[in-house]
């Protein structure tokens, strides 16, 4: 049972570590999405400001082009992180299933140990009862 408890503890640690890594990937993806949203806001603001200013309108094309390139890079980064997240989610699910398997085995072993202990106690009680009965019987006949 001690070896099983160690396995359970190790699998819990593994699961916790994988959940932590998944959360970190989710935070990275959220950061990239926030950058995309900020880039879109900046692009709209620049486009709105360029409407009344010819100098700004002249450079707007280059700014929009650079923003589009940056957006594509960010979207690619989001897609890559999402692929990593999907793989990590599979690892988390597998680790969870393994942990539950070991916990189930431990519960079954504990239940069997309780049943065995109860049987021993019942036998001991039965033996005491039979000894008392024999003693009473001998006292009545003797």
Express each pLDDT in 56-75 by its tens digit. 666 777 888 899 999 999 99
Express each pLDDT in 78-116 by its tens digit. 999 999 999 999 999 999 999 999 999 999 999 999 999
Joined together, the tokens standing for residue 95 give: 């680790």
Residue 12 has pLDDT above 80, yes or no: yes
Longest distance between any two alpha carbons in the chain, whole Å:
126
Q: What is the pTM of this model?
A: 0.72
Could you please report the per-residue DSSP string of 67-103?
HHHHHHHHHHHHHHHHHHHHHHHHHHHHHHHHHHHHH
Q: Please tell me the distance from the alpha carbon of residue 120 to that of residue 29, in angstroms, as a whole number.
A: 59
């Amino acid at each position: 049972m001690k070896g099983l408890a160690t396995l359970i503890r190790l699998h819990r640690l593994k699961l916790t570590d994988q959940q932590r890594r998944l959360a970190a990937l989710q935070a990275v993806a959220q950061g990239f999405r926030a950058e995309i949203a900020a880039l879109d806001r900046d692009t709209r603001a620049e486009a709105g400001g360029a409407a009344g200013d010819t100098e700004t309108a002249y450079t707007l094309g280059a700014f929009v082009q650079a923003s589009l390139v940056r957006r594509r890079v960010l979207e690619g980064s989001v897609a890559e992180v999402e692929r990593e997240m999907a793989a990590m989610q599979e690892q988390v699910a597998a680790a969870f299933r393994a942990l539950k398997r070991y916990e189930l085995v431990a519960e079954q072993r504990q239940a069997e140990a309780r049943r065995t202990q109860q049987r021993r106690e019942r036998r001991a009680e039965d033996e005491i009862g039979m000894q008392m009965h024999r003693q009473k019987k001998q006292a009545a006949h003797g």
